[in-house]
Structure 1
Amino acid sequence: MKVILAQPRGFCAGVVRAVDTVEQALEQFGAPVYVRHEIVHNQHVVEDLRAKGARFVEDLNEVPANAVTIFSAHGVGKEVENNAHQRGLKVLDATCPLVTKVHNQGRQYAARGYQVILIGEPDHPEVIGTLGQIPSPVVVVQTEAQVATLEFSQDTPLAYITQTTLSVDDTHAVVDALKRRYPQIIGPDTRDICYAVQNRQTAVRELSQCVDVVLVIGSPQSANSVTLRDIAAETGIPSYLIADGSAVHSEWLNDQSTIGITAGASTPEAMVSDVLNALSRIAPLQIENLPGREEHVHFRLPDGLITRQ
C-alpha cells in the first residue's frame, strides 16, 4: 500500500505550549498538579500526563487549597479565574494565545458598545470560556440558518468573533450570511482563525486529491480533527476519524490503496507512527510526504514557570 502523509499535521504551537506547561509544572513543583478540563482533546496525551502525576478536574472545587492549577488550552471564563484567585491557587494559564486574542477582541467590541456575535459550537469548552470572558451578553451562532433567526434591528451595532478551530469554509459562509443580513457588522478577517487549523485544512484538501482513502488521526471531541474528516469526506472519498492504530479496519483498504493520513492539532506524532504500524501489518507500505507549509511558530510558556535552558 502507498501511504501519503499530509504536511503539516499533528501538534500545533498552542498544544505544544499546553503540554509543555503541564510537564514542566510537574518537573518544577512535583506531582500532583491539577488541570482544569483536559489540557487538549486527545486521550493519549491526557493519559500520558495523568501517568506522570497530572490530575484532571472539571471543577476547581476538586482542587486542594494552594495547589498548582493549570487552565487548559481552550481557555476559561473570568468567573473561573476569580474563583482560583479567591482560593489562593497557584495558576498557570495554558490558554492558547490565539484563543486569548479572541477574548481580547470580544472584550474590545463589547467595551465600544457592540452587540457581540460569537461564531462557534455552543458546547465547546473554547466557546464557553470565551462567553465567560466578555462582560456583556453574547449570541452564539453556528450555521447560516441560525443567522436567519437573529432578531437584531438594522441599526444595532454588531460585531462578530469566531471560535479558532472551525472550518474556514463554514465560517466564511456564516460571516457572509451575517454581512448580507447586517451590512454594518464588523469583525476580524476569517484569516484570524487559527493558522494551524487553516494549514491542516488546506493540507487535507490537497491530500484528498491524490489518495483513495483518508485517515484522520484525532479525538472525536477535537473540533479541528472532526473538521478535517468532514473536509476530506466532502471530496467524495472514504474518510475515517480514528484515535490510533487499533481503530484501523482492514476492510477499508486493499493492497492497491493509496492512503492519505493527517492528524488533528492535538494529536501527537506517536499516534501517526502507531497507525503506520497497524497498516504495515496489513500490507507492506510505501510512505511519502506530501509537500506543504512548514510551521515555525513558538509560544512562550506561561508566567510562573522556570523555563529550561
Structure 2
Amino acid sequence: MEKKPKLRILLCAPRGFCAGVVRAIDAVEEALKIYGAPVYVRHEIVHNKYVVEGLKAKGAIFVEELDEIPDTTKPVIFSAHGVPKSIPEVAEKRQIFAIDATCPLVTKVHREAEFHHQRGRQVLLVGHAGHPEVVGTLGQLPKGSIFLVQTPEDIENFQPADEANLAYVTQTTLSIDDTRSMVECLTKRFPKIIGPLREDICYATTNRQEAVKRIAASVDAMIVVGSSNSSNSQRLKEVAERSGCKLARLVLRADDVEWELFADISSLGITAGASAPEVLVEEIMAAFAERFELVVETVSTADESVFFPLPRELRPENAV
C-alpha cells in the first residue's frame, strides 16, 4: 500500500458558528417545535446552503418577500442579517406573527443609525451594496438621511448637507483592515464626523480574521469553509491572501475541493466562516485524511463565550 504524504494542518480557533448564528438557527428550530411545520423564514436565516437545506428538511419554508407567504397563523422569522423597518410594518398590517432573529450586534448598528438621525445628523454606512445586512440598515432611516459608501472614491464624492453634522456606522462582517482604511478616509475628509463608541465589526468577524492572519503566511494553502454568499467567509479568504497565503479557497463541502490544487502541499490552514457548521470542517478534514497522513495543530487567538438568548417570543415563559 502506497504511503500517504504527510500534511500539517493548522486549525484556526475560533472558527465557525458565532452567537448570532446559533441564536438564529435555534430560533427556527424552536419555532418548529412550538408551532409545527411549516415555519416561514424571510431570506436565508444565515448564509450557508447546508444549514438552510437542513432547516428545509425539518419544515422551514424560505421566502424572499412577505407577499410569498399565504395568510397563515404560522410564524415568519426574520433572518440574522436584519430587515428594513418597512418589513415588520407590512407583517403587522397583514397580521403575520413575526419573530425577529436579527443578530443583536446588527440591531446595535440599527440603533446607532437611529440615534444619529434623531439628532439631525446625516449617516454614512460603510458596507457592500446589496448585502441583506446593508439593505436592512439602510432601511432603518428615511431615504436621503443615510448613504452607503463602499470605496474611498465614494467618500470623496459625497456632498453632505453639513460637514459638521455627520456620523458613520459599518456593516458588521467587513474586513477589519478595509474598514480601518475607510474610517481613516472618512475622518480625513470630515474631521468632525462621529463614529460608534465601540466599533461595529462584530467580535466573531474580528476573532476569525485575527486567527487567519496568525497562520496565513506559514501555510502552503488555506481553506475557508463557508458559502460564496457569506460576507464574513469571503472576507476570511481575502484576509488569508493579503496576509501572505499563496493559495486560498472558499469551500462549502468536501466535494467542492479542487484536489489538483492541493496535491503538492505540505501544510494547510483551515478555518470556517461564522455561518458554517463544524460538521463541514470535519467532512473536509476527513476528505484530506483519505489522501494525506494528517498532523493537526489548533492555533487559538481568542476564547469566545458570547451567548445571545432566543427572541422573546420563543423563550419558555412566553411561547404559546
TM over 0.5: yes
2:66 corresponds to which letter in structure 1? L
Task: State the percentage of identical aligned residues.
Answer: 48
Match of 1:223 among 200, 220, 231: 231
1:81 corresponds to which letter in structure 2? P
Q: Give the match's secondary structure for 2:91.
A: helix
Calculate the TM-score normalised by the size of structure 1: 0.96
Structure 2 Cα separation of the partners of residues 62 and 288 of structure 1: 47
> Deviations for 1:53-87, whole angstroms, at most 9, x for unmatched residues?
00000110111223210000001111101000111
Q: Give the match's secondary structure for 2:222.
A: strand
Match of 1:288 among 292, 297, 303: 297
Match of 2:220 among 207, 212, 220: 212
Alpha-carbon offset, residue 221 of structure 1: 0.4
Match of 2:20 among 14, 17, 40: 14
In the alignment, structure 1 segments of 5+ residues that lack a partner are none
Structure 1 Cα separation of the partners of residues 141 and 215 of structure 2: 39
Calculate the TM-score normalised by the size of structure 2: 0.93
Alpha-carbon offset, residue 284 of structure 1: 1.8
1:76-91 pair list within 5 angstroms: 76-91=83-98
Matched residue, 2:278: 269
Structure 2 contact 10–298 (Cα < 8 Å) conserved: yes
Matched residue, 2:187: 179
Structure 1 contact 248–279 (Cα < 8 Å) conserved: no
Structure 1 Cα separation of the partners of residues 160 and 41 of structure 2: 39
Evaluate the alpha carbon distance shift between residue 207 and residue 98 of structure 1 in structure 2; reply closer, same or farther with a 3 A threshold.
same
Of 105-114 and 230-239, deviating more is 230-239
Structure 2 Cα separation of the partners of residues 283 and 307 of structure 1: 48
Alpha-carbon offset, residue 244 of structure 1: 1.3
Matched residue, 2:35: 29
Match of 2:139 among 132, 142, 167: 132
Of 46-55 and 153-162, deviating more is 153-162
Q: Give the match's secondary structure for 2:40.
A: strand
Alpha-carbon offset, residue 190 of structure 1: 6.4
Matched residue, 1:101: 108
Structure 2 Cα separation of the partners of residues 196 and 274 of structure 1: 22
Alpha-carbon offset, residue 187 of structure 1: 1.1
Evaluate the alpha carbon distance shift between residue 212 and residue 189 of structure 1 in structure 2; reply closer, same or farther with a 3 A threshold.
farther
The CA RMSD over aligned residues, in Å, is: 1.5
Structure 2 Cα separation of the partners of residues 188 and 264 of structure 1: 25
2:230 corresponds to which letter in structure 1? S
Structure 1 Cα separation of the partners of residues 282 and 100 of structure 2: 31
Structure 2 Cα separation of the partners of residues 197 and 119 of structure 1: 15
Alpha-carbon offset, residue 156 of structure 1: 4.5
Structure 1 contact 157–184 (Cα < 8 Å) conserved: yes
Structure 2 Cα separation of the partners of residues 91 and 253 of structure 1: 46
Alpha-carbon offset, residue 306 of structure 1: 3.6
1:137-286 pair list within 5 angstroms: 137=144, 138-152=146-160, 155-188=163-196, 191-236=199-244, 237-254=246-263, 257-286=266-295
Structure 1 Cα separation of the partners of residues 265 and 221 of structure 2: 11
1:167 corresponds to which letter in structure 2? S
2:114 corresponds to which letter in structure 1? R
1:48 corresponds to which letter in structure 2? G
- How many equivalent residue pairs? 308
Matched residue, 1:41: 47
In the alignment, structure 2 segments of 5+ residues that lack a partner are 1-6
Q: Does residue 76 of structure 2 align to residue 69 of structure 1?
A: yes
Structure 2 Cα separation of the partners of residues 269 and 288 of structure 1: 16
Alpha-carbon offset, residue 133 of structure 1: 1.2
Structure 1 contact 3–285 (Cα < 8 Å) conserved: yes
Alpha-carbon offset, residue 211 of structure 1: 1.2
Evaluate the alpha carbon distance shift between residue 208 and residue 155 of structure 1 in structure 2; reply closer, same or farther with a 3 A threshold.
closer
2:238 corresponds to which letter in structure 1? D
Matched residue, 2:313: 304
Of 230-239 and 172-181, deviating more is 230-239
Structure 2 Cα separation of the partners of residues 129 and 32 of structure 1: 25
